[in-house]
Amino acid sequence: MTDSYPGTPNGDAASSLNGMANGSAPHVASPPLVRKKLMGYVGFANLPNQVHRKSVRKGFQFTAMVVGESGLGKSTLINTLFNTELYQPKEVLPPSAERPKTVAIESISADIEENGVRLRLTVVDTPGFGDFVNNEESWKPIVEDIESRFDSYLEQENRVNRQKIVDNRVHACLYFIQPTGHSLRPIDIEFMRRLHTKVNLIPIIAKADTMTDEEIINFKDRILNDIRHHNIHIFQLPTYENEDEEALTEQEEIARKIPFAIVGSNQLVHTPDGRQVRGRAYPWGVIEVDNEDHCDFVKLRQMLIRTSMEELREHTTAVLYENYRSEKLLGMGVAQDSSVFKEINPALKMQEERTLHEAKLAKMEAEMNLVFQQKVAEKEGKLKQSEEELYARHREMKEALEKQRLELEDKKRRIESGRPLTPEKSATKRNRFLRT
Ligand SMILES: Nc1nc2c(ncn2[C@@H]2O[C@H](COP(=O)(O)OP(=O)(O)OP(=O)(O)O)[C@@H](O)[C@H]2O)c(=O)[nH]1
Ligand SMILES: [Mg+2]
């Protein structure tokens, strides 16, 4: 309400009261927009607070997945993110023993609360690729897991009662890249290509403490080039025009760090200056997990949890899940009838109906004309035939009469000349008589 509309005559705070009606019936010619100055407090400025209260009451759900080769520090990073030992060692192992490996896709949930906001955070830990006999197909169980979560959501959506939908969809997938310093390997590219349409991909350089700062900068460049070259879509922070300066700078700083170079550790170590920090101690010094000068862990946590959790959730729902859902339903033969969603304009509809009706009438007329012409042709044919028959009969009768007339005339002539009526017969008699 504090916005001033440049179009208003006095430039005062104004509000469009017709805006809502326009929005609900876009097909009807827009009524003129009336700008009204509010005379007093109405209350809709409180709408964002209502949404806020409601979402706090409902709580939030967020699921992140970690994927990468065995031993790259996936389980360690989860522990670092939660800041707890979620993965307790099952038994105390001697230093020479092999470290515990993740053997199946496991998910761990924790209900956490901060300033009265409840969040159910689920982390899905996946076994490393190196454990598979055939590493070419190592992406399969993970894609299947992501899809089965989509399926479960789709199934819940299709239920009669949709009150209690549990959202287990993976909202972000942290992909661990080996700190080789070269470029992405075929297995990384294959994996990301299989996953990028199903999940928000966030690439991570694992065990960044094994590389120098300069090596990390060059490695990041190569990784981003490879990602661009292979048209892999990684999660990008959206930027909105009306965002405030501070938020924009924060987002830019985060975006500049992608792919995040991460060091994971839940161990507390002493720094030379006497502080106790989470990190890894080396003979040459201490790498601090929560120090932005040492690695990008803080920026990753900031993006995942503080600034873009909602964006990750929204992109999962609006784009990734939506694509999966429509593909799946189309595959099942459920086609969308677009006419159902067509906006109806009464004038246009009447015009359409009239055109249809006229076309129908024209078709009927043409059909009737055709039938009429056929009947006329038939009748004509019949008439012609009977005329010919009549003509033939008339000719026959005429000929018969003419013949009769000639005979009678002949008879008359003979009678008049006194000759016998049947000269031929008498002649034969005479001849017979002569012979005998
Ligand atoms: N140098 C270094 N070592 C790390 C880092 N993160 C984890 N490690 C060590 O790497 C080893 C493997 O870590 P895990 O977290 O078990 O690796 P993982 O990716 O879960 O492995 P799998 O479960 O087998 O897939 C452990 O000894 C960790 O202490 C890191 O950032 N830097
Ligand atoms: Mg593990």
Domain hosting residue 372, numbered range: 346-435
Instruction: Note whether 253 and 301 are same-domain residues.
Output: yes
Instruction: Note whether 134 and 269 are same-domain residues.
Output: yes
Domain assignment present for residue 401? The answer is: yes
CATH number reported for the structural domain that contains residue 112 in this entry: 3.40.50.300
Instruction: Note whether 300 and 368 are same-domain residues.
Output: no
Q: How far is the CA of 265 from the centre of ligand 1 (A)?
A: 9
Instruction: Note whether 68 and 190 are same-domain residues.
Output: yes
Beta bridge partners of residue 172, listed in sequence order = 64
Q: How far is the CA of 66 from the centre of ligand 2 (A)?
A: 9
For residue 430, give Cα distances in angstroms to 155, 424, 427, 436: 125, 10, 5, 10
Task: Write 288-293 long-range contacts (CB < 8 A, 24+).
Answer: 289/80, 289/263, 289/264, 289/265
DSSP state letters, 226-244: HHHHTT---------TT--
Instruction: Note whether 79 and 148 are same-domain residues.
Output: yes
Protein residue closest via CA to atom 7 of ligand 1:
73
Instruction: Note whether 421 and 319 are same-domain residues.
Output: no
Q: Does the beta carbon of 130 sit less than 6 angstroms from any atom of ligand 1?
A: no
Closest ligand to C-alpha of residue 68 is 1
Looking at residue 430, its pLDDT comes to 47
At 279-298, the pLDDT tens digits run 898 888 888 988 888 899 99
Pocket probe for ligand 1: among 66, 76, 82, the residue whose CB has the most ligand atoms within 8 Å is 76
At 239-275, the pLDDT tens digits run 777 778 888 888 888 888 989 999 988 888 888 888 8
- 10 or 247, higher pLDDT: 247
Domains in the chain: how many in total? 3
3-class SS at 176? Answer: strand
**Which of these three, 335, 366, 392, is where a domain ends?**
335
Residue 104's pLDDT band, with cuts at 50, 70 and 90, is: confident
Domain assignment present for residue 51? The answer is: no
At 54-79, the pLDDT tens digits run 877 878 889 999 998 888 999 888 88
153-167, 193-207, 223-237: the lowest-pLDDT one: 153-167
For residue 81, give Cα distances in angstroms to 90, 206, 265, 289, 310: 20, 14, 9, 10, 18
Instruction: Note whether 326 and 353 are same-domain residues.
Output: no
E-assigned strand segments in 263-312: 268-270, 276-282, 285-288
Q: Which residues contact 271 (CB under 8 A, 6 or more apart)?
A: 277, 279, 286, 288
Protein residue closest via CA to atom 1 of ligand 1:
207
Instruction: Note whether 137 and 23 are same-domain residues.
Output: no
Domain assignment present for residue 272? The answer is: yes
Looking at residue 13, its pLDDT comes to 40
pLDDT at 17 over 50: no
Looking at residue 348, its pLDDT comes to 82
- 5 or 297, higher pLDDT: 297
CA 12 vs. chain centroid, Å, equals 44
**Which of these three, 335, 370, 387, is where a domain ends?**
335
Protein residue closest via CA to atom 12 of ligand 1:
71
Q: Which residues contact 253 (CB under 8 A, 6 or more apart)?
A: 299
Q: Does the beta carbon of 128 sit less than 6 angstroms from any atom of ligand 1?
A: yes
State the DSSP code for 160: S
pLDDT at 236 over 50: yes
Residue 99's pLDDT band, with cuts at 50, 70 and 90, is: low
Instruction: Note whether 354 and 323 are same-domain residues.
Output: no
Residue located via tokens 């990784």: 223
E-assigned strand segments in 342-433: none
Instruction: Note whether 324 and 410 are same-domain residues.
Output: no
Of the candidates 404, 405, 423, 425, the residue with the CA atom closest to the CA atom of residue 414? 423
Cis peptide before 32 (omega within 30 of 0): no
**Which of these three, 335, 361, 381, is where a domain ends?**
335
Pocket probe for ligand 1: among 65, 66, 69, 72, the residue whose CB has the most ligand atoms within 8 Å is 72
Domain assignment present for residue 257? The answer is: yes
Looking at residue 423, its pLDDT comes to 54
Instruction: Note whether 204 and 241 are same-domain residues.
Output: yes
What one-letter code names the amino acid at 54?
K
Q: Does the beta carbon of 74 sit less than 6 angstroms from any atom of ligand 1?
A: yes
Of the candidates 130, 274, 271, 261, the residue with the CA atom closest to the CA atom of residue 202? 261
Of the candidates 69, 108, 63, 64, the residue with the CA atom closest to the CA atom of residue 87? 108
Alpha-carbon span 122 to 117, nearest angstrom: 16
Domain assignment present for residue 341? The answer is: no
Q: Does the beta carbon of 181 sit less than 6 angstroms from any atom of ligand 1?
A: no
Closest ligand to C-alpha of residue 71 is 1
Instruction: Note whether 129 and 6 are same-domain residues.
Output: no
Locate the ligand 1 atom nearest the alpha carbon of residue 206 and give its number: 31
Domain assignment present for residue 201? The answer is: yes
Mean pLDDT, the chain, whole residue set: 81
